């Protein structure tokens, strides 16, 4: 099982991509901050939304890797709250992404679990 989420990139990040400069990494970090809810939803989807909810996450800015084709990954640490057990747990996940400059979207993919 691998869950995915597609996000639409902001106009600011479109401008950074058009220039293809060294600002792409910083722009990508800022872009992910704009899509906190989508990342939380992706993380929560691995834990049965009825059973647990991600209520905080932090992206490691030093974990971003991107190739010239717009494919890469980053690591996110998060805390998930289990309402039925009234407990929480800390975890982390590597999220892969693929930027599509034609559609102005980024496909986020969580880890593969069998």
Could you read off the pLDDT tens digit of each residue along the chain, which spans 114 residues? 789 999 999 998 888 877 766 677 788 889 999 999 999 889 888 766 566 788 789 999 999 998 888 899 999 999 988 877 788 888 899 999 999 989 999 999 998 765
Which residues have a Cβ under 8 Å from the Cβ of 12 and sit 6 or more positions away? 27, 30
Q: Specify the number of domains making up the chain.
A: 1
Which residue range is the domain that position 102 belongs to?
4-109
For 22-70, where are the E strands, in sequence order?
52-59, 65-66
> Residue with structure tokens 């640490």?
77
Q: Name the 3-class secondary structure at 40.
A: helix
For residue 98, being part of any structural domain is answered with yes
114 located within any domain? no
Q: Say if 93 falls within a structural domain.
A: yes
Report the predicted TM-score, pTM, of the whole model to 2 decimal places.
0.85
In a domain, 75, yes or no: yes
Give a yes or no: residue 96 inside a domain: yes
Token pair listed for 104: 């102005």
Cα 111 to chain centroid, rounded:
11
């Amino acid at each position: 099982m691998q869950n995915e989420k597609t996000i639409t990139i902001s106009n600011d990040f479109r401008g950074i991509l058009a220039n293809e400069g060294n600002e792409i990494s910083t722009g990508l970090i800022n872009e992910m901050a704009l899509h906190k809810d989508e990342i939380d939803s992706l993380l929560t989807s691995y834990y049965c939304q009825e059973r647990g909810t991600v209520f905080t996450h932090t992206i490691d800015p030093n974990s971003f890797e991107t190739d010239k084709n717009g494919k890469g990954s980053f690591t996110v640490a998060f805390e998930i709250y289990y309402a039925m057990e009234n407990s929480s747990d800390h975890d982390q996940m590597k999220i892969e992404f693929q930027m599509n400059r034609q559609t102005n979207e980024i496909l986020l993919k969580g880890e593969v679990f069998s």
